[in-house]
Structure formats: structure tokens, C-alpha cells
Amino acid sequence: MARVKKNKASTAPDGFPEKSWNKLSDTWRDAAQAKQTEELEQDIIKAVRNMANTSFDMNNDDKLKILQEDVKELKGSYTETIAIEKAKIDFCVFLFNTRGVAPSKSTKDAVKNAAEADDGEEAN
């Protein structure tokens, strides 16, 4: 899926991922920068405990498990069809390689157009 990156100036410190930076509140970021090393270590421990507790809760959420099974069942035929089509592509490429032949320009263009159409549908 193609994503358009907005031309927005990064506010994250150099070397820190913008995606992670944006998940943190301004208040928390400012407070963390003022903390001593020992306090940061405590924040790490607290965050790891929170992650473990949340993961435990998620894994024991019966309603979520039921919904995940429903989604898995509904997606099954789609994912199986996609897997079959990918296997066809893999075998065709294998045959091209064993024959020492490259795909034609029209095949490459068709693949590119199909990928672009798929990206357009995912964006909607």
C-alpha cells in the first residue's frame, strides 16, 4: 500500500523515530527529558510491566478471541486464494529462470498496473 508522506517538519530528536515520538504526549516527553537516570530506569520497568499486563489481558479476553476466530474464518478463503495466486507467480518466475528468460515488458507493466490498482483500493 502506497503512503503519501506529508511534508511536515519533524519534531523528534535526531535518531529517534518520528512514529514513536508522536505516540508520546508533550507533557510526558518534557517530563522524561528532565528525569534522572534512575527515574528513567523506573519508567522502563513500569512500561514493561504495563505491556506485560496489557498483553496478558488481551490474551485472556474471551470476546476478543471469539472475534479473532470469526475474522480468521471469514478471511480464510481470501487468504487461500491469494496464496494460490502467489504460488502460480512463483512457479512462473521459476520456469522463466530455468529457461533463462526474463518477463516481457507487457507482463511487467501488467504487474505494475495491478499493484497500483491494489494500492488505490487499500487507500479507500
**Does residue 112 fall inside a structural domain?**
yes
DSSP-derived secondary structure letter, 1: -
What per-residue confidence (pLDDT) applies to 1?
46
pTM for this entry: 0.56
Instruction: Specify the number of domains making up the chain.
Output: 2
pLDDT at 6 over 60: no
Residue 24's contacts (CB-CB under 8 Å, 6 or more residues apart) are 32
**Does residue 12 fall inside a structural domain?**
no
Range of the domain at 115: 77-123
pLDDT digits (tens, 9 = 90+) for 95-121: 988 999 888 888 888 888 888 887 766
